[in-house]
Amino acid sequence: MKFISTRGQASALSFEDVILTGLASDGGLYLPEVIPQFSTTDIEAMRGLPYNELAFKIMAPFVDGEVSDVDLKDIIDRSYATFRHDAIAPLVQTGHNEFILELFQGPTLAFKDFALQFLGNLLDFILEKRQQKVVIMGATSGDTGSAAIEGCRHCKHVDIFILHPHKRVSEVQRRQMTTVIEDNVHNIALEGNFDDCQNMVKASFADQSFLPEGRQLVAVNSINWARIMAQIVYYFYAGVAVGSPARKVSFSVPTGNFGDIFAGYLASRMGLPIDQLVIATNQNDILHRCISRNDHSPQPLEHSLSPSMDIMVSSNFERMLFDLHGRDGNVIAKLMEASKSGSITLSDDALARARELFSSYRLNDDEVLEVIAQVYDRTEYLLDPHTAIGVQAARKTRRNKAVPMICLATAHPAKFPEAIQKAGCHDPVLPHHMSDLFDRKEHYQVLDNDIALVHRFISKNIHE
């Protein structure tokens, strides 16, 4: 299996190389050259499989033997052994043909654990084999950082630096990152918003001259292919649980960076019969505006009660554009160059193709609070603010009520107590393994939005 850049100019890479590379040399994102296919018979055989076994079946074609089957199974088993629920991704019914897919059963209570526990173990395997040391630099709007730190804190070949927007993540999210006291873990609170953090990471990948000789940056954001690959699994897991492939299934996905829902798109491409994918956004609604009225113009970023979606530059949307434009890297390169000066406009054909599968909806903070309160009143099920956006978006855009609608619960409500309290619900309780979170010592560095300053901090703190 080879992996190609969305912009068409970079060399194709092997699986292991693409995991260590992040952005392509031409600035694009990597995708598999060929999308693996599963037949109806293949998907029927997935019914009843434990999560780990299903994960192996989905991932193995992408790995294509570069990691042996025995080692891949071991990496998967170790990755999901840290989850608190035996089902790994349990389904809960909240309405007629409406289900919540709980993706917060991992160690940091967010869906990012599915990919980053796996990526941490995979990096450990690859780097040990190569006897190579790397530097992880990542940006987080709240959940990626803690999941990446938890997944990589024990990696002896990795120094990890995570940038989060200062005072723009919840206190629980911040403490999950900053209370991990390890020699190889460094948290940077950047004076700016998430897009500032993400832009700095992208610029650093483009020019890595600030690193010591022999070191390279590795991505943990969803530009890393391993993250998308691991997320495809739970779409198949949930789909077969409600009757696929005999029944179609729909998903509603709270999304800011487009990685999670792009994994759903790939599941569809691989054979899962998905009827509808709902792009659910908060008031930072560039993805909703793009799908609903072909308006992909950046607007000022607003701080919201769903901070993990406070994103205006959705990196993974480029992967979607690549497919919508016939996988023509030259077209994407021109689109991305044009986007630097403003908006992207999709062609009529590309937009029509997108709308065949995708719908979209946006909620503001007041509407989010109403949904949290309403769902709790009727079901006693407590939604976090991101999941609430997914539930209401599903209800407002649903095309066929006979098709099961699965709403992805991307985080545990205890990560966002401010929103839960404002909705008039009881204070959410942290799981017992995190009950002392507010008593733990924090360690992080507040830095100005200055790339030279950040680079000096990183180079000074890399271990020999």
The token duo for 36 is: 């693996």
pLDDT at position 233: 98
**CA geometry: angle at 6 spanning 321 and 248, to 5°?**
50
Per-residue model confidence (pLDDT) at position 141: 85
Res. 283: pLDDT tops 90: yes
d(CA 72, CA 121): 10
What is the share, in percent, of the chain residues with pLDDT greater than 70?
100
Give the pLDDT of residue 342.
74
Confidence of residue 429 (pLDDT cuts 50, 70, 90): very high
Please report the pLDDT score of residue 464 as a whole number.
79
- Angstrom distances, CA of residue 70 to CA of 62, 63, 65, 67, 455: 15, 12, 10, 8, 39
* CB neighbour class for 216 (10 Å; exposed up to 12, middle 13-18, buried from 19): middle
Sheet holding 91-95, edge to edge: 91-95, 98-102, 405-409, 249-254, 274-281, 358-362
Confidence class of residue 23 from pLDDT cuts 50, 70 and 90?
Answer: confident
Peptide bond connecting 61 to the previous residue in cis, omega within 30 degrees of 0: no
Strands 405-409, 91-95: pairing is unpaired
pLDDT given at position 36: 98
Q: Which residues pair with 95 in a beta bridge?
A: 98
Average pLDDT, the chain: 95
Active site residue 112: yes
- pLDDT tens sequence across 173-226: 999 999 999 999 999 999 999 999 999 998 999 899 999 999 999 999 888 999
Give CA–CA dist 355/249, Å, rounded: 16
Check if the beta carbon of residue 229 is closer than 8 Å to that of residue 59.
yes
Q: Which of 32, 387, 14 has its CA nearest to residue 229?
A: 32
154: confidence class by pLDDT, cuts 50, 70, 90:
very high
Average of per-residue pLDDT across 380-397: 98
Domain positions in the chain are: 77-107+225-422
Reported as a pLDDT band with limits 50, 70 and 90, residue 313 is: confident
Q: Which of 2, 57, 73, 112 is catalytic?
A: 112
Check pLDDT > 90 for residue 421: yes
Whole-number pLDDT of residue 261: 97
16 has pLDDT over 90? yes
Tens digit of each residue's pLDDT (9 = 90 or more) over 94-149: 999 999 999 999 999 999 999 999 999 999 999 999 999 999 999 998 889 999 99
Distance between start and end Cα atoms, the chain = 34
Question: Residue 83: which of 205, 233, 305 has the closest Cα?
Answer: 233
CATH of domain 77-107+225-422: 3.40.50.1100
- 395 pLDDT more than 90: yes
